[in-house]
Amino acid sequence: MLEEVSGDPRHDPRFKVLVDVRGIDYSPSVAEVRQLAEALVERRESFSNGMAVIVDPGPHYDLAELCSRLAKSQGFTLACFGTEPLARDWCTRNGD
């Protein structure tokens, strides 16, 4: 998905990206979360204003927070939210 979005000519790296993964049945392993964080960091120039993810509470949220911390430690902003209004609000603010 990251390559598809970043390669789309309509994509502007200055846009914040909102991803909604609520309701997914798949739970990644910690190793897969690390790989995702690495993939985000590798593409940070394509998503330079950050990414918001909406996640169900519980284990999925915890894994998203882990991914966020790993990515942040290498300069990528991934913000985790439990509700769409909070995520949309973050996406419309400047400087976050």
Rounded distance, CA 65 to CA 42, Å?
Answer: 19
Pairing outcome for strands 17-20 and 51-54: parallel
CB 81 within 8 A of CB 54: yes
CATH number at residue 55: 3.50.80
Cβ atoms < 10 Å from Cβ of 25: 4
What pLDDT digit, counting tens, does each position of 52-90 carry?
999 999 999 999 999 999 999 999 999 999 999 999 999
Q: Quote the number of domains for the chain.
A: 1
- What does the angle CA 45 – CA 50 – CA 52 come to, to the nearest 5 degrees? 145
Q: Which helix (H) or strand (E) holds 19?
A: strand 17-20
Average pLDDT over residues 7-26: 90
Domain membership of residue 31 as a residue range:
2-92
